[in-house]
Amino acid sequence: MTAYTQVSANKYKTWLIMLIFAFFITFAVYVFTFALGFQGPSALGFSGIALIIAGIMNFFSYYYSDKMVMAISQAKQIQIKDNPTLFRTVENLCIASGLPMPKIYIINDSAPNAFATGRDPKHAAIAFTKGILDKLTKLELEGVTAHELSHVGNYDTRMMTIVSILVGTIALAADFFLRISFYSGRNREERGSNQLMMIIGVLMAILAPIVATLIQLAISRKREFLADASGVLLTRNPDGLASALLKISHDKEPLEAANKATAHLYIINPLKNRKDAIGWFAKLFNTHPPIEERIRVLHQMQ
């Protein structure tokens, strides 16, 4: 897949994901209200409200998801006076790629990692952890920066960031239904509807892996290989990125600011060293290809 086809595919998938989200929320609310005894026009009325809410969520996800992700990640924007060397590195690669200068953020965490976000190149931002700035060499940091800028140029960031917010919303909705199912219906008259709500809550929890599968389909592993390759075209130095990937993957410090909704944004899975790291089953839905495979491909680009 070329960079041009990747851009077109990402734009299409972004709108598809937003439509799926609107349908999912509307359908879930309809079933939930039906279980509570609301039927006919009442259930449809609640579903209409849910559709409006989903539309509002899509709007905010499209225009403000980058700010939300930065806030969730505890990232703070910096200016050129705060780190002139980093700004020069990013600026030089922007000139080489023809991209506008993104906003630069720092995550005060010693674990090395980085990610890019933004709905388009004009509204892009790149977040670096303090650890990646301290532990990587200049050439390694250039490789990582070029990789993230490639995500910006390929419009990966728009899709990945919106997915983070929408999936987080779905997770909250699933938790809401589960809590209602367990804490409501304490008297005999309410038990019937409580059982129905419990079934709905459990079903929504079961849907979580399906949502993860949709994410995997929307955010193909090929995007990482393409970003690696595009980044190397900017730096002309595959060893820099390969060395950075190896160093980051071998680092044992957990990235506390990351969570499962934003993990796919990072250059390397940030949850691997956490106590709540995803297990073997969740790895089936991992959107990052194996580091060894990425490094092998980079070495073949010599």
Active site residues: 148
**Cα–Cα distance measured from residue 148 to residue 171, given in angstroms and rounded to the nearest whole number:** 27
Q: 147: annotated binding-site residue?
A: yes
Rounded to 10 degrees, what is the CA torsion of 124, 120, 254, 220? Answer: -160
Which residues partner with 105 through β-bridges? 77, 127
What 3-state DSSP class applies to 252?
coil
Tell the residue number behind the tokens 């980079």, with chain if given.
298
Task: Determine which helix (DSSP H) or strand (DSSP E) holds 291, and give its type and residue range.
Answer: helix 291-299
Q: 250: annotated binding-site residue?
A: no
Tell the residue number behind the tokens 């905010």, with chain if given.
60
**Cα–Cα distance measured from residue 298 to residue 302, given in angstroms and rounded to the nearest whole number:** 7
Q: 288: annotated binding-site residue?
A: no
10 Å CB burial of residue 2 (0-12, 13-18, 19+) is: exposed
Q: Which residues fall in the annotated binding site for Zn(2+)?
A: 147, 151, 224
